[in-house]
């Protein structure tokens, strides 16, 4: 999985019918210091993530193993909202520190 910050949303009226009602979120990928890497992915939301939240994104066929994405043509899914992470014993990012 990759760590990313939900930066916005994509509106797409014309889409594969199986994707109706799915929410496409723009996720900016972060490095381990919580800085943006410049990369992004558009992912379907499976956990009710909102703009500004830090999340985990699973890609490929694994991204389809949620209720929101099963058997749908989506190659990336937000499957967790991150509370914090630590590296070598130090907390690198925590939810309300932003």
**Footprint of a copy of itself on this chain (CB under 8 A)?**
1-3, 7-16, 18-19, 24, 26, 28, 31-32, 40-43, 46-48, 51, 56, 58-66, 69, 71-77, 79-89, 92
Q: 80 to each of 13, 47, 50, 68, 85, how far by Cα in Å?
A: 26, 6, 12, 13, 13
Closest distance to a copy of itself from the beta carbon of 35 (Å): 12
Closest listed residue to residue 93, CA positions, set 34, 38, 53, 43: 34
Question: Residue 24: left (phi > 0), alpha (psi -120 to 50), or beta?
Answer: beta
Closest distance to a copy of itself from the beta carbon of 98 (Å): 13
Closest distance to a copy of itself from the beta carbon of 83 (Å): 4
């Amino acid at each position: 999985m990759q760590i990313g910050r939900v930066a916005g949303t994509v509106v797409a009226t014309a889409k594969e019918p199986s994707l109706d009602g799915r929410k496409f979120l723009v996720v900016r990928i972060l490095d381990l210091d919580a800085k943006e890497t410049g990369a992004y992915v558009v992912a379907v939301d499976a956990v009710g993530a909102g703009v500004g939240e830090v999340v985990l994104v699973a890609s490929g066929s694994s991204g389809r193993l949620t209720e929101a994405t099963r058997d749908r043509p989506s190659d990336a899914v937000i499957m967790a909202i991150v509370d914090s992470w630590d590296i070598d014993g130090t907390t690198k990012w925590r939810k309300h520190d932003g």
